[in-house]
Amino acid sequence: MNTITAYFAALFGNFLLSLGFSLQKKHVHWLSAKRRGESIRRGEIIGWASGFVLMNVQPIFNYIALETLAPNIVAALGGSNIIFTIVLSYFLLGERMPPRKIPFFVLLMASLVYAGVVGQEASRQFNVQAFWVAFFIPTAFSMLVLFASKRMSEDRIGLFLGSSAGALGGFMVLALEALRINYGSNILSWFVSAYLYVYFFCGIASFFIKQFAFERGKMTAVAPSFYGLLVLYPSIASYFVSNMPVHASQLIAFGGISVAIVLISI
């Protein structure tokens, strides 16, 4: 597979993820219909379930893209979720993006394109020690923040828990890369690998930490920290895990993506 095809495979996967989120949000009311004394509509169940399926199909496209692209590029392309979510929210949910955020939207699109232009080939190297250190850092930080959250302000809780959830969610790309390099496409062998369970742990932990952050912290602190670390943490960690050289042009692209995500989210 050539680089352009892999690039668009990752983008298409992120589009499916954003479409899944949008469908679930549009049809989520059936979950609480009985509590409100309303009948459950079959169409809402189908719409919500379709969104759930699409969200879980997305990793397949990340795996395909990782055959050609470096993990930091695949992680960076996760920033496209904001673009797709904004567009889909307009058509499916009737939500409009404030005009003042259009320049940040353009910056994000330009940075994503630039990240693809200066992208590296997929790595064949894998540093086991660096992988576990990179996994331990956000995991330990998350536990520390959860224990200390009672003494924190809403802003700090939102910032720290949003960052933790974003870093763990982004690390799923590196867990997928670990499976690809060490076990290839032999799916059955994945089930005896610790990397598969790291992948599941990161996804589940990120989801629940984010919910706790939404409940205890300010959304203006949660959203930018979550989306920023979702892209930035795996992009940086992959340099150590995959033993890749650092290129200034890529750092510029990742910086542009992260800054645009923060500015769009606040």
- The residue assigned the tokens 């032999």 is 186
pLDDT at 266 over 80: no
pLDDT digits (tens, 9 = 90+) for 203-226: 999 988 987 886 777 755 677 788
- One-letter amino acid identity for 16? L
> What residues form DSSP beta bridges with 69?
121
Query: What is the Cα–Cα distance from 29 to 145, expressed in whole angstroms?
Result: 32
List Cα–Cα distances, 127 to 133, 153, 191, 205, 244, in angstroms: 10, 38, 21, 24, 11
**Least trusted range by pLDDT, from 44-58, 173-187, 222-236:** 222-236
pLDDT digits (tens, 9 = 90+) for 48-91: 899 889 988 999 999 999 988 888 888 888 888 888 888 888 88
Quick check: is 211 in a domain?
Answer: yes
Quick check: is 252 in a domain?
Answer: no
Query: What is the Cα–Cα distance from 146 to 149, expressed in whole angstroms?
Result: 5
Find the domain containing 147 and state its range: 124-243
Quick check: is 42 in a domain?
Answer: yes
Query: What is the Cα–Cα distance from 7 to 119, expressed in whole angstroms?
Result: 9
How high is the mean pLDDT of the chain? 85
Interval 187-208 mean pLDDT: 92
Higher pLDDT, 132 or 23: 132
133 and 95, same structural domain? no
Q: Tell me, what's the pLDDT at 157?
A: 83
- Report yes or no on whether pTM surpasses 0.85: no
Query: What is the Cα–Cα distance from 98 to 114, expressed in whole angstroms?
Result: 25
Last-in-domain residue among 122, 157, 187: 122
Q: Tell me, what's the pLDDT at 42?
A: 80
Last-in-domain residue among 92, 122, 152: 122
Interval 185-199 mean pLDDT: 90
Chain centroid offset of residue 120 CA: 20
pLDDT at 32 over 70: no
Quick check: is 222 in a domain?
Answer: yes
Q: Tell me, what's the pLDDT at 125?
A: 80
Residues 163, 146: contact at Cβ < 8 Å? no
**Least trusted range by pLDDT, from 108-122, 129-143, 180-194, 232-246:** 108-122
Q: Tell me, what's the pLDDT at 220?
A: 59
**Helix, strand, coil percentages for the chain (3-state, nearest 5):** 80, 0, 15
pLDDT digits (tens, 9 = 90+) for 106-137: 898 888 888 777 766 666 788 999 999 999 99
Sign for the pseudo-dihedral over CA of 65, 68, 74, 76? negative
